Amino acid sequence: MDMFLSALTFAVSPISLCINLAGVILGILFGALPGLNGVVGVALLLPLTYNMNAAHGLMMLAGLYMGSTYGGSISAILLNCPGTGEAACTALNGNPLARTGRAREALSYSVLASGFGGLFGVIVMGLFTPILSKMALKFGPPELFLVCMAGLTVVGSLMGKSIGKGFFSVAFGLLLSIVGMDTITCNYRFTFGNLHLQSGLSLIPVSVGFFAIAEMLNLVCSAEEVSSVSEHKGNFKTLDALRDTLRRWKIALKSAVIGTIIGILPGTGGAIASFIAYGEAKRTSKEADLFGKGSADGIIAPESANNAAVGGSFVPLLSLGIPGSATSAIIFGALTVHGLIPGPKLFAEHGDIVYALTLGLFLSTILMMVVGLGGVSIFSKILNIRTRYIVPAVLAFSVIGAYSARNSMFDVLIAVIFGIIGLLFKRNQIPIAPSVLGMILGNMAEQNLRRSLTVAHAKSLPIVSYILLRPISLVILVLLALLIYGNMKTALRAKNEE
């Protein structure tokens, strides 16, 4: 208890709050700018923390991680350019809502849901880390393969009107994930002798092209003077958004649970969490017909899930030293620089730092909500800026973002190419989100299936029984069946409407 109190005093001290706030604001910026994201931000700030007090350094990085997860939704809602993969689903409903003049409403839903999910994830992390880390270990290659399959079923909720085009898009994404070194055998696939393709297509330039550049090209072609509706309808109040979000607590809570669990699983992250939460929300939402046209549920579900995944990803990181996401993998580096070795001993020997980090992350979430809500009316002014100013600015940031992830001009070229492909997709009403989903999950699904095959072969077990006859596999399988049923229903309903 003493330790908790001293950690609390530490976390609310002015200097800690300032560092925390700096991390959160930087995070929101990194998240909102296309091409930059939490991974890039945390990597850039990491050397800065070498000479800081360990708890302060971790607090700043964790705050940045939390802020960036929310920040992606700002550009997703206002410009239809999700700054991160985590915000891809948010754009599907946030942008249509903004286009009808309800941008401030959409932004408020997003920040409130992010805050709710974030707090949920942190509370779970603070209270149940030792128990949940045991659960994380139960997920081996077969379970992770089935989780990927569950993720892929969500494509049914993303495909819009045409089933054929939806499947084309997800297949395209899966194909992209094959390019590069086959990580199981170290052989190269589809690299066409190009050195830069050996490490595969990186998700950042592809999604920058697909989302940001394609949207800007589309704007230019449609020759609208202002990117969206310039008037804001009605006198919207933050309190209304809060009441509205609270009314939808079931969706927010379910998505937060999904997000936390996905966050705990090794190698996953907020993007997968938000896709699965989105699919699940569409299956059960009362306003399922509004999905894709500006549903509040469709904003709340992915935003709650991706911020909940932040707290979730710290669970295996702190208790086992296994990072749950790409961003927490870099935070792992920050821990070790200060001589903090994650694992059971961390809690015994450095409990003060664990408490300070958890409380810091809790405060980061609250600071994020304050900054986010305060910024709603400022952010929404972006919509009043003329297209001719928006387009060059977004394109410039896209190029910088695509370059900075790997310091590679080749990645800029990839972003431009995928910008053009994205434009073709948009012009032919092919949904883009399934491609991104396929690209994120393709690699993971393939690797885990092949690891399962390798182990099953070594143990001379038939592959089907090796994958299925495990307790957690059976649970996921039931969920998988439900998801397939639900998504088929939505896909077919969309077909009938056509």
Contact positions vs other proteins (CB under 8 A):
42-44, 46-47, 50, 136-141, 181, 183-186, 188, 191, 193, 195-196, 198-199, 217, 220-221, 223, 266-267, 316, 320-323, 329-330, 332-333, 336-339, 341-345, 399, 406-410, 412-413, 416-417, 419-420, 447, 451, 454-455, 457-460
**Nearest distance from residue 201's CB to other proteins, in Å?**
11
Q: Which string of b and e fits 116-129 if b means at least 16 CB within 10 Å?
A: bbbbbbbbbbbeeb
Q: Which CB sits closer to other proteins, 211 or 236?
A: 211
- Does the CA dihedral 47-50-56-59 come out positive or negative? positive
CA geometry: angle at 260 spanning 254 and 265, to 5°? Answer: 130
**Nearest distance from residue 396's CB to other proteins, in Å?**
11
How far apart are the C-alpha atoms of 27 and 64, rounded to whole Å? 4
**Nearest distance from residue 460's CB to other proteins, in Å?**
7
H or E stretch covering 180: strand 180-181
3-state secondary structure of 460: coil
Q: Which CB sits closer to other proteins, 261 or 301?
A: 261
CA geometry: angle at 288 spanning 423 and 373, to 5°? Answer: 75
How far apart are the C-alpha atoms of 273 and 262, rounded to whole Å? 6
**Nearest distance from residue 176's CB to other proteins, in Å?**
16
The amino acid sitting at 211 is F
**Nearest distance from residue 178's CB to other proteins, in Å?**
16
How far apart are the C-alpha atoms of 162 and 248, rounded to whole Å? 29
Q: Which CB sits closer to other proteins, 342 or 434?
A: 342
How far apart are the C-alpha atoms of 356 and 4, rounded to whole Å? 8
Within its chain, how far is the Cα of 497 from the centroid?
Answer: 31
**Nearest distance from residue 121's CB to other proteins, in Å?**
19
8 Å CB contact between 27 and 45: no
Q: Which CB sits closer to other proteins, 220 or 463?
A: 220
8 Å CB contact between 364 and 24: yes
Q: Which CB sits closer to other proteins, 141 or 259?
A: 141
Q: Which CB sits closer to other proteins, 59 or 299?
A: 59
**Nearest distance from residue 234's CB to other proteins, in Å?**
34
Q: Which CB sits closer to other proteins, 353 or 491?
A: 353
Q: Which CB sits closer to other proteins, 141 or 270?
A: 141
**Nearest distance from residue 142's CB to other proteins, in Å?**
8
Task: Name the DSSP letter for residue 230.
Answer: -
Backbone phi, psi, residue 189, to 5°? -125, 135
Q: Which CB sits closer to other proteins, 279 or 401?
A: 401
Start-to-end CA distance of the chain, whole Å, equals 61
Q: Which CB sits closer to other proteins, 14 or 193?
A: 193
- Name the β-bridge partners of 188: 181
Q: Which CB sits closer to other proteins, 199 or 377?
A: 199
**Nearest distance from residue 204's CB to other proteins, in Å?**
12
Q: Is 228 left (phi over 0), alpha (psi -120 to 50) or beta?
A: beta
8 Å CB contact between 62 and 361: yes
CA geometry: angle at 67 spanning 6 and 342, to 5°? Answer: 50
Please report how the helices 88-97 and 433-458 are oriented relative to each other, as an axis angle in degrees rounded to 10: 160
Assign 3-state DSSP to the chain and report helix, strand, coil percentages, each to 5.
Answer: 80, 0, 20
How far apart are the C-alpha atoms of 305 and 274, rounded to whole Å? 5
Q: Which CB sits closer to other proteins, 236 or 466?
A: 466
Could you give the count of Cα atoms lying within 13 Å of 119 in the half-sphere of its Cβ? Answer: 12
The amino acid sitting at 148 is C
